[in-house]
Chains A and B, each alone.
Chain A
Amino acid sequence: MGTRDCKHEASISSPCIGEAGDTGHWRTVRPVLDRSKCLAVKANKPICFQCWAYCPEGVIKKQIGCEIDLTYCKGCGICAEVCPADAITMEPETGEQDR
């Protein structure tokens, strides 16, 4: 199937979730949260949220025990870098590999 039906003359995108497709496929490492270390979870308060604030893709929910949308997370690792409690680690992606 070709792209002829796309009908875009110039390259256009909309500011919508999923506009670039399932970018989660780009990952080679994925973020994994250790809730026992997360400051917000331990205090049961809406605090810190550095992972949410620094995520360049906006795929982390601003809630206690952050939820990361793996459909779109590209595995950049910034959340793991900025977490003051080292609660996030980047684990090798075990999903199917592209050729």
Chain B
Amino acid sequence: MHEKKAEIAIITGNQAAANAARLGRVQVVAAYPITPQSSVVETLSKFIEEGELAAEFVTVESEHSALAVCIAASTVGARVFTATSANGLAYMCEQIHWAAGSRLPIVMGCANRAMAAPWSVLNDQQDSMSQRDAGWIQIYCRNNQEIMDTFIQAFKIAETVHVPVMVCYDGYILSHTVMPVEVPRQEDVDAFLPPYQPHLTLDPADPKNINPVTLADPRLNHEGKLCHGYMEHRFLHQEALLQSTETIIAVGQEYAERFGRDWGGLYWGYQLEDAEVIVMAAGSLASEATVAVDALRADGIRAGVLGLRVYRPFPKRELVAAVAQARLVVVVDKSLSYGNEGPICGDLKAALFGRDRAPALHGYVAGLGGRDVKARQLAETVRNSMARLDEGMLLSDTQWIDCRI
């Protein structure tokens, strides 16, 4: 590793994200401000203006344009970066699909915030969860150090598998909270992250149409080659996503070897190995759950946390293996697939269907619109769930934590 001690900065999650983009030597930043993401872009703008980052900052009038500019810049071979939240993410929705289908290695930060209506600037995960079907890799961070490290990893993952990566972190709880963060040295990041080599770029010397209307059936092109129809392109996209777990793990391991921090790859565990009841969540909520687990363990309950890091692609096989030995999984979603259940709960339930060894599964919704979720509430939730399990409830309807209706 490195001889000199790395710099420790006391910074917010947003500043960690901005510093990671700087260290990643992004070349084009196009973003629109939205609470609670704004200081990511303000910080990057300052880096560029002061000459610390040689990038072009494109001021756009909306998030839709922000991602459109990133798509264009990425198509001509630039490493790009943007960030947004909630309604901003929603505003760029069509481009989110475009970026994924174009197989562009765009890295975007999502400072998780509740979707309007009603208006809220506070945290939940509805925004990124509502885009889970678009075909991006989605990674959730539990603290500011992980934010710094995950963004740097994200560039390498995206540029290897040619799928855009959304790095999600809880608005305010992480975006605005200061924590000590070790800032990697530029030369170490350079050694880890080589310059972007695009697989395809616009070139006047070899003109191409990129993403023309692509019909239902394959077509013979002017060379007599059978070209993918729309469905084949989508098959390849899905294939790349499913196979990306290998790259995500490998990049994480390489990062751990170089920088000394291992965030677990697809998921992380706290007291997971012998847990009879597992609390599963993504982001800072999972971090909070470790405090609840400490309290439960003190009372003799063998509880553990399964912190979901990569939500898309959904690491089915790994999660099924991780929960197999437990009696009960308590899934706490900070979002809801309205009309059904929490996204993480639903996906895990589907993964467990038909398995010989499947724990009971109770799903909860918590923390919507910034409602605080305390460790003691999580601990109480686990106790209640265990009591209901003892009464024979293997599966539950979604329960709401601290809803004051």
Interface residues of A (CB under 8 A from B): 1-3, 5-6, 8-22
**B209 engages A14 (CB within 8 Å):** yes
Name the A residues within 8 Å of B222 (CB-CB). Answer: 14, 16-19
Q: Is B208's beta carbon under 8 Å from chain A? A: yes
Give 5 A-B pairs besides A3-B232, A14-B221, A19-B222 with Cβ atoms closer than 8 angstroms: A2-B226, A3-B226, A12-B209, A21-B219, A22-B220
Please list 11 pairs of residues, one from A and one from B, whose beta carbons are closer than 8 Å in the complex, sorted by A's number: A3-B229, A6-B218, A10-B101, A10-B210, A12-B208, A12-B210, A14-B221, A15-B208, A18-B222, A19-B221, A21-B220
- Identify which of B209, B212, B221, B236 contacts A21 (C-beta below 8 A): B221
Our pick among A9, A11, A18 for the contact of B212 (Cβ within 8 Å) is A11
Which residues of chain B (171-225) have a CB below 8 Å from chain A? 199-200, 207-212, 214, 218-222, 225
Q: Which residues of A contact B211 (CB under 8 A)?
A: 10-12
User: Does A15 lie within 8 Å of B207, measured CB to CB?
Assistant: yes
**Interface contact B225-A12, CB-CB below 8 Å:** no
Query: B208 and A9: CB pair below 8 A?
Result: no
Q: Complex: how many Å from CA A22 to CA B209?
A: 18
Choice from A15, A17, A18 contacting B209 with Cβ under 8 Å: A15
**7 residue pairs, one from A and one from B, having the closest CB atoms:** A16-B222, A18-B222, A11-B214, A21-B219, A13-B209, A21-B220, A3-B228
In the complex, A77→B1 CA distance in Å? 71
Quote the shortest CB–CB distance from B204 to chain A (angstroms).
12
Chain B residues whose CB sits within 8 angstroms of the CB of A17 once the complex forms: 222
- When distances are taken between beta carbons in the complex, the residues of chain A under 8 Å from B250 are none
In the complex, chain B residues whose CB is within 8 Å of the CB of A11:
101, 210-212, 214, 228, 230, 233
What's the minimum C-beta distance from A7 to chain B, rounded to whole angstroms? 9
Q: Is B227 located at the chain interface by the 8 A CB criterion?
A: yes
Report the minimal beta-carbon distance from B270 to chain A, rounded to whole angstroms. 38
Restricting to B52-111, which residues have a CB under 8 Å from any CB of A? 101-104
> Quick check: A5 and B207 within 8 Å, CB to CB?
no
Q: Tell me, in angstroms, the Cα distance from A22 to B236 when the chains sit together.
A: 26
Chain B residue with Cβ nearest A4: B232
- Asked if B22 is at the interface of the complex by the 8 Å CB criterion, the answer is no
- Report the minimal beta-carbon distance from B106 to chain A, rounded to whole angstroms: 13
Interface residues of B in 153-186 (CB under 8 A from A): 162
Report how far A8 CA is from B199 CA in the complex, Å.
10
Interface centre among A9, A10, A20, A22 (most CB of B within 10 A): A10
Q: A3-B226, A3-B229, A14-B222 are in contact. Are A9 and B236 (CB under 8 A)?
A: yes
Chain A residues positioned under 8 Å from B210 (CB to CB): 10-12
Residue of A nearest to B102 (CB): A10
A5 to chain B, nearest CB (A): 7
User: A3-B232, A6-B232 given as contacts; is B208 within 8 A of A13 (CB)?
Assistant: yes
Instruction: Compute how far the CA of A21 lies from the CA of B236 in the bound complex, rounded to whole angstroms.
Output: 22
Q: Tell me the bound Cα distance from A16 to B212 in angstroms.
A: 13
In the assembly, what is the distance between CA of A9 and CA of B101, in Å? 9
Question: Could you say which residues of chain B place their CB within 8 Å of the CB of A21?
Answer: 219-221
Q: In the complex, how many angstroms separate the beta carbon of A11 from the nearest chain B beta carbon?
A: 4
B237's closest neighbor in chain A, by CB? A9
Given contacts A8-B228, A12-B208, contact A18 B218 (CB under 8 A): no
On whether A3 and B207 interact (CB within 8 A), knowing A10-B102, A20-B219, the answer reads: no
Count chain B CB atoms within 10 A of each CB in A1, A14, A16 and give the residue with the most.
Answer: A14
Set of chain B residues within 8 Å of A13, measured between Cβ atoms = 208-209, 212, 221, 227
Docked complex Cα distance between A88 and B96 (Å): 46
Q: CA of A47 to CA of B222 in the docked complex: distance in angstroms? A: 32
- CB-CB under 8 A from B162, the residues of chain A are 9
Residues of chain B within 8 A (CB-CB) of A12 are 200, 208-212
CB distance from A98 to the nearest CB of B (A): 11
In the complex formed, the residue of A with least CB distance to B220 is: A21
Chain B residue, CB-CB nearest to A15: B207
Complex alpha-carbon distance, A34 and B99, angstroms: 50
Within the complex, which residue of B103, B218, B220, B230 is in contact with A10, where a contact is CB–CB below 8 Å?
B103
Q: How far is the CA of A75 from the CA of B345 in the complex (A)?
A: 53
Cα A3 to Cα B218 with chains together (Å):
7
